[in-house]
Structure 1
Amino acid sequence: MYILNNALANVWRHKGRNALLGAIILVVIAASVVALMISSTATSIIDDYKERFSAEVTFVPDMEKVREEAMAESEDGMVRMVMPTIDADQYLAFGESEHLADADFTASTGVVPEDLTPVAADLGGGSGMMTMGGGGPGESMFESEPMSFTASLQGNKLAEFDDGSRALAEGEMPDADGEALVSTELAELNDLSVGDTLHLAGELRNIDEGALESIEYDVTVVGTYDDLTDEYGTSPQQNAFTNRRNEILTTYDTVLSNYVAGMQGMQVAATFYLEDPDLLDAFTEEVRAEGLPDVFDVTTDSATYNAIVGPVEGLKSVSVTFMIVVLVFGGVIIALLSSIAIRERKYEIGVLRAMGMKKSAVGLGLWSEILAVTAACMLLGLAVGSLVAQPVTDVLLAGQIQAAEEAAAAAEAQGTGGGMGMQMGPMGGANQADPDAEPLADLAVALTPGTVGQIAAVSLGLATLAGLTSLGRITRYEPIKILSERN
């Protein structure tokens, strides 16, 4: 108890020296409060954005590699380029990756609705079948002519209901297997109503063996939709098959119910979302191991992700770096001041040691002094840091947003594809990063219990550093020598 009482008394006896030391500690703690508040809030914002917005991954065929493979496999001098595909089984395997935040699967196949007149029936149908040379020029390698599709069955392709291009007119969205939506045009043309059953015929084909296999679907109409999309979209061909009013919307599993591995005729795709764009290389290694052909490049929409999260991550990095610098320089200054203070108090230490007090007890007393000063500075530092944290955050965030915008503009001007530049889409075409992706305009910081705990740990560390410095100096002094030098 004497050591503690004496330590508290010494705080006031050496108030000038302790005020200087306390000012340094206060600055360090206040700066740490600001930095930790920014870092804590930025971390929670980043985590929240990663949950709600993740980097989209696309598999883009490298046409140069496709051409090289076709030329290498050519035996008669004729180059036969075949658009590479990814099996549904592979897509499902890719979706098991632990690096993904989410995965959306879609599938489609051509069909012929039984006893149903498609929209634009007078234009005929289409198959999308590639006619490949067999016995002679222009001769089909299939034993029979491929089916001429007049409609398409689309599984889980419902994104346009979110952007307003399509809207539910009657009934409900397909949820269970075997349920489907049809366009109001198709329903009115054929007098369809909710509850009707459609029988759809289709086929799969084996390109290598030239065999065709029939498939069938029975789906129940559970609703109709109004369609504001372009009637033929981007298709260069205009027929019943490419007319979007003949798209029958159903679930992914419904389309895949007739899937046969190794057969073509179904277009299966998936949109994968990484938890973080930095995981792209690790995800690429996984999908390569699962059998993704080398002709596919794995890309991610890092531009949109960085446009939203980048400034916040930059702000967090700046705040953490600033805190580390302040702690390092502050710790050095505190250690020097503590060392100087002990030199000035040699006689006091010599008297205490001559009275029989052990070095550890003297060190404990000095540590108690600095701990009391640090505790007062921590309370004041929490108040000061909380007051200045928001203005500092606003200034730093504005600087990060401006830097990100300048970097994006420079990259776009140079055509490097960085920042908000060009991105390669799922079909290999160039597209801009999401124009609606805007960074946070403000960041409301707050002092959390976790931050208070971190500040307490920082304060304890500073006090311990000063105490250890003092103890290190004490061990160099012998009481008899100190008193003799004093005399």
Structure 2
Amino acid sequence: MYLFENAIRNIFRNKGRNIILALVTFLIIFAAAVSFFISGATASMIRNTRTQFGNQATIELKDETASTGGLEVAAYLKYGASDLLCKTEYSMTAYGRLDSLRALDEEAPDGQANTILAATSRTDLGDDFRKGLRSITRGKAPEKKGECLISEEFAALNSLSIGSQIKLLPADTGRTGTAEFTVSGIYSDNSVNGTGGQPGMPLYNRNNEIITTIETAAAIDFMADSIGRQFNAVYFLKSSDQLDAFQNELLEKGLPAAYTVSANEEEYRQVVAPIEKLSKISNIFLLVVLLLGTFVLVLISVMSMRERKYEVGVLRAMGMKKPKVLLGMLTETLAVTAVCLLFGLLAGAVAAQPVANTLIQQAAQVNIHMTAPIIGQISMVALLLAGLSSTAGILYITRFEPNKILSERN
């Protein structure tokens, strides 16, 4: 108990020296905390992203130059009926012609395609709605077969409201058929491209898009090979190691040999690349901080012990054993380090998020969290620094015997 009380008194007796030691220790722990928080967050995000995209499978051509007729929408839907999947996401766009209605930016009806039918299986209607670029202002999203969403501008131009009927004709004037929709909701487009403003080019105006469910679009015969048709299917496996099993199942269901099932590796790399870069930067920064910080702390410790050499000589001459003298000095360093660790952790946790956002330049969102393993790692670094700096000073001072120290003083 005496050693602890005396160590605390010594800290306040030597304020100037200990303030410098505390400041340097705080800066090192703060920088290390920021690096550990960022590294922990990026490592977790990389694992989660690998799990997410490793579970996503798409059907692609083995040879993009190969000539094929393409897969039917019905085939994609059939492949999605698998026990290996936890969910599927389908999306499709195709051109069409409005029957007895006008499109925005259409100067005069000319029998050409003037609207885009956009279909999705997602309950959130896709990224535009999820990110707030589009929002439903009246009614609700299409749920039943034949329901659709239209824009506020398109509804105003044609005096349409909830429950109004819309007829769509094939984009190819040489084909016959009619698709009928009931307006279930009206959306607002808040994106930069949502205003159109190109007379004579209605297909470039996003507010002409009619949004419906994938089941509704797939049931329209003339949409199967309509002009401008694009279909995308993403299959979410229950486990990333089931990719081969899923491919074998699709082959049994009739998937042509020209196609293969692959994980979404390209999108994974696009998402992970900036995160990996941030992780490397933080690790290099941590290494530099620890090397320079340890050197500075050792230097301060040795200089401090030179000033305290006479104090050590007196204590030893009074009969205090060498281990107790050294334990008291180590206690002083640990007490200063503990206070710096507390404030360094708090400051590091606050600063890590803005630092991460600045370094990654908004390429992805990295969420910083203070977790027990990270706190343990930072605490170990703090103890290691305290141990190294104290050891250097202790090794310096223990070279001298009490009589020699006192004689040099005299």
Q: TM-score, normalised by structure 2?
A: 0.55
Measure how far apart 1:19 and its partner are: 0.5
The 8 Å contact of residues 312 and 397 in structure 1, kept in 2 or not, is answered as yes
Instruction: Report whether the alignment pairs 1:384 with 2:325.
Output: no
Instruction: Report whether the alignment pairs 1:267 with 2:263.
Output: no
What is the aligned residue count? 267
1:106-255 equivalence runs, <5 A: 156=79, 162-164=90-92, 225-227=218-220, 228-230=223-225, 253=249
Which of 451, 456, 471 is the aligned partner of 2:374? 451
Report the counterpart of residue 10 of structure 1 in structure 2: 10
Measure how far apart 1:355 and its partner are: 2.5
Structure 1 range deviating more: 461-470 or 161-170: 161-170
Q: Give the 3 Å change call, closer, same or farther, for CA 389–255 of structure 1 in structure 2.
A: closer
* Cα distance between partner residues in 2 of 1:314 and 1:478: 53
Measure how far apart 1:34 and its partner are: 1.4
Amino acid at match of 1:230: D
Amino acid at match of 2:10: N
**1:157-198: per-residue Cα shift (whole Å, max 9, x none)?**
68996113678998xxxxxxxxxxxxxxxxxxxxxxxxxxxx
The 8 Å contact of residues 30 and 382 in structure 1, kept in 2 or not, is answered as yes
Aligned CA-pair RMSD: 4.1
Q: Give the 3 Å change call, closer, same or farther, for CA 447–269 of structure 1 in structure 2.
A: same
* Cα distance between partner residues in 1 of 2:249 and 2:17: 76
* Cα distance between partner residues in 2 of 1:153 and 1:24: 62
* Cα distance between partner residues in 2 of 1:306 and 1:443: 16
Which runs of 5 or more structure 2 residues have no equivalent in the other structure?
Answer: 82-86, 94-118, 122-143, 146-215, 230-246
Q: Give the 3 Å change call, closer, same or farther, for CA 231–394 of structure 1 in structure 2.
A: closer
Amino acid at match of 2:219: D
Measure how far apart 1:224 and its partner are: 11
Q: Give the 3 Å change call, closer, same or farther, for CA 311–56 of structure 1 in structure 2.
A: farther
**1:19-41: per-residue Cα shift (whole Å, max 9, x none)?**
10100000011111211122222
Amino acid at match of 2:281: V
Q: Which has the higher helix share?
A: 2
* Cα distance between partner residues in 1 of 2:75 and 2:2: 90
The 8 Å contact of residues 367 and 466 in structure 1, kept in 2 or not, is answered as no
Measure how far apart 1:376 and its partner are: 0.8
Amino acid at match of 2:405: I
SS in 2 for 1:162: strand
Report the counterpart of residue 319 of structure 1 in structure 2: 282
* Cα distance between partner residues in 1 of 2:402 and 2:76: 94
Q: Percent identity?
A: 35
Report the counterpart of residue 294 of structure 2 in structure 1: 331
Which of 387, 404, 407 is the aligned partner of 1:484? 407
Q: Give the 3 Å change call, closer, same or farther, for CA 154–338 of structure 1 in structure 2.
A: closer
Report the counterpart of residue 344 of structure 1 in structure 2: 307
Measure how far apart 1:256 and its partner are: 2.4
SS in 1 for 2:91: coil
Q: Give the 3 Å change call, closer, same or farther, for CA 478–391 of structure 1 in structure 2.
A: same
Measure how far apart 1:458 and its partner are: 1.4
Measure how far apart 1:154 and its partner are: 9.2
* Cα distance between partner residues in 1 of 2:388 and 2:319: 26
1:42-81 equivalence runs, <5 A: 42-54=42-54, 60=62
The 8 Å contact of residues 274 and 360 in structure 2, kept in 1 or not, is answered as yes
Q: Give the 3 Å change call, closer, same or farther, for CA 253–305 of structure 1 in structure 2.
A: closer
The 8 Å contact of residues 218 and 224 in structure 2, kept in 1 or not, is answered as no
Report the counterpart of residue 256 of structure 1 in structure 2: 252
Structure 1 range deviating more: 371-380 or 29-38: 29-38
Report the counterpart of residue 394 of structure 2 in structure 1: 471
* Cα distance between partner residues in 2 of 1:154 and 1:392: 45
Amino acid at match of 1:273: A
* Cα distance between partner residues in 2 of 1:397 and 1:254: 40
Amino acid at match of 2:342: L
**1:303-344: per-residue Cα shift (whole Å, max 9, x none)?**
x33321211221121112111111111111000000110111
Q: Give the 3 Å change call, closer, same or farther, for CA 359–396 of structure 1 in structure 2.
A: same
Which runs of 5 or more structure 1 residues have no equivalent in the other structure?
Answer: 64-82, 84-107, 109-150, 171-222, 235-250, 260-264, 275-299, 402-438
* Cα distance between partner residues in 2 of 1:486 and 1:450: 48
Q: Give the 3 Å change call, closer, same or farther, for CA 43–355 of structure 1 in structure 2.
A: same
Amino acid at match of 1:271: V
Q: TM-score, normalised by structure 1?
A: 0.47
Amino acid at match of 2:5: N
SS in 2 for 1:53: helix
